[in-house]
Structure 1
Amino acid sequence: MKDRPAEGAGRGRAGMGDRPVRTGADVTASTAVRYALVPAPTLSLDTVARLSGLHPDLVRRFVALGLVDAGRDAAGHLVFDPTAPAVVARVQRLRSGLCLNYASIGLVLDLLDRISLLETALRGRGTRSEIPPWT
């Protein structure tokens, strides 16, 4: 029988095995619960459809395709962020203006959001590119 070191020996934490030691600050930060002071405003499916001028089934299809974000309330009905009508209008503009199918619209929306984030980050840095503008 070979000699094996005792569990946890040589690790500086006798008897702790491979589990990390959590300090009081780590425990407090990971178990903190946040509550909203005011309930976040949401829109119903019918409201989004009415504001967008679309049939509710088409709005449901947008949710199923991942083009519009929606959640569920306690009763299981779709609820939307107040910006949902603007997102639906953006989808409709891309569909009619560029003749894109809904799968490609999802990709275009993701790319436009990414471009917006990058432009915001560049503006926040306050630095200009070394390359002169093309105009």
Structure 2
Amino acid sequence: MNDRPAGAGGIGRAGVGARPVRTGADTTASTAVRYALVPVPRLSLAAVALRSGLHPELIRRFVALGLVDAERDSAGRLVFDATAPVTLARIQRLRTGLCLNYASIGLVLDLLDRISMLEAALRRAGTRSETPPWT
């Protein structure tokens, strides 16, 4: 469902953190490793549940389905990046507003991420369409 590389040890769509992220298709010695220079704030499952207004078990289910990025800390608990509540709100809007099932939501999230990447590439290249982005 997702063709983007996840962070090392990541769970979900694309983990981001202080762990190395391998880039490239192969794992030879020429594979680049990037390290975060600034620690990324991490949120516990309880904090994400409180901020999003969702039950922690539902959030665990979203992680298992690959809809939300999460990693495990040294104690084995789920930790999330600061954007997790925004992702959860987007999932809830897609579920209630469009009556999509969770498999469809994963596809829509991937497509929206791809659209955002393409729009950012257009902005960097200096070629921008006359119409504002629809997302």
**Shorter-chain-normalised TM-score: which range?**
0.5 to 0.7
Residue 47 of structure 2 is aligned to residue 47 of structure 1: yes
CA shift for structure 1 position 37: 5.7
Relative distance call for 1:124 and 1:71 in structure 2 (3 A) is same
CA distance in 1, matches of 2:37, 2:123: 32
For structure 1, list consecutive stretches of 5 or more residues without a partner in the other structure. Answer: 1-26
Does the C-alpha gap of structure 1 residues 122 and 78 become closer, same or farther in structure 2, counting only changes over 3 Å?
same
**Could you give the per-residue CA deviations for residues 43-78 of structure 1, whole angstroms, max 9, x where no partner exists?**
000110111101000000000000000000000000
Match of 1:8 in 2: none
Kindly indicate which of the two structures has a greater share of residues assigned to helix: 1
Query: CA-to-partner distance for each residue in 1:61-120, whole Å, 9 max, x for gaps?
Result: 000000000000000000000110000000000000000001100000000110111111
Aligned length: 103
Identity percentage over the alignment?
A: 71
State the 1:39 CA deviation: 3.4
Counterparts of residues 56-135 of structure 1 (less than 5 Å): 56-127=56-127
* Structure 2: gaps of 5 or more residues: 1-28
- The CA distance in 1 between the partners of 2:65 and 2:112, in whole Å, is 17
Counterpart of 1:127, as a letter, is T
* TM-score normalised by the chain length of structure 2: 0.67
Offset, 1:127: 2.5
* Higher radius of gyration, 1 or 2: 1
Alpha-carbon distance in structure 1 between the residues aligned to 2:47 and 2:40: 16
CA deviation after TM superposition for structure 1 residue 40, in Å: 2.4
Residue identity matched to 1:48: V
Q: Which one has the bigger strand percentage?
A: 2
